[in-house]
Structure 1
């Protein structure tokens, strides 16, 4: 009878070991599934942040390009105005010199 009890205990222990192993496998599987879900969420969030960052960079680039083009246009306008004024000043100086030369020629 002792052998029967011992056999029953061995079987009970094997059953408990199998149940424990099944529970551990189920817990591991649940942990892996949870980890995979968390990684997927974090990946999606990281991708959204990356795309938002790219959009922000593109918007800044457009704004800075518009500012640069406006500054270049203003500089070109300023240069054209300065050249025109210099040309007009030179022409006025030439006219004054020619007028002075004519007056000097008439006096002689």
Structure 2
């Protein structure tokens, strides 16, 4: 704003422009804060997903080890039906 226009503005006009400037600055800070929180949430979700996947891999490995130690099931022969 030029010096001439600043001198011509009324006190109400100056106050209004200050409020607008402050509101714009606060809006930028709020947007930055929201973006920061979104990044933190995504990082936490990735961490939790990795933990969950690691637990699932452990469970699958334990199940595979258990299956390897169990004896294989024996198949029973079916009895043939006798003719009447």
TM range (shorter): 0.7 to 0.9
- The equivalent of 1:24 in structure 2 is 19
Q: Output the aligned Cα RMSD.
A: 1.9
Give the CA deviation at 1:75.
Answer: 1.3
- In structure 1, stretches of 5+ residues that fail to align are 1-11, 84-108
The CA distance in 2 between the partners of 1:16 and 1:52, in whole Å, is 54
Verify: 1:67 aligned to 2:73, yes or no. Answer: no
Structure 1 runs (4+) deviating above 2 angstroms are: none
Q: CA deviation at 1:62?
A: 0.5
1:34 aligns to 2:51 (yes or no): no
1:50 Cα deviation from its structure 2 partner = 0.5
| Equivalences for residues 74-89 of structure 1 within 5 A | 74-76=69-71, 79=72
TM-score, with normalisation over the residues of structure 1?
0.57
Residue 56 of structure 1 pairs with residue 51 of structure 2: yes
From the two aligned structures, give the one with the greater helix fraction.
1
Q: How many residues in Structure 1 have an aligned counterpart in Structure 2? A: 67
1:94 is matched with: none
Q: Distance in 2 between matches of 1:74 and 1:26?
A: 73
Report the Cα offset of residue 63 of structure 1. 0.7
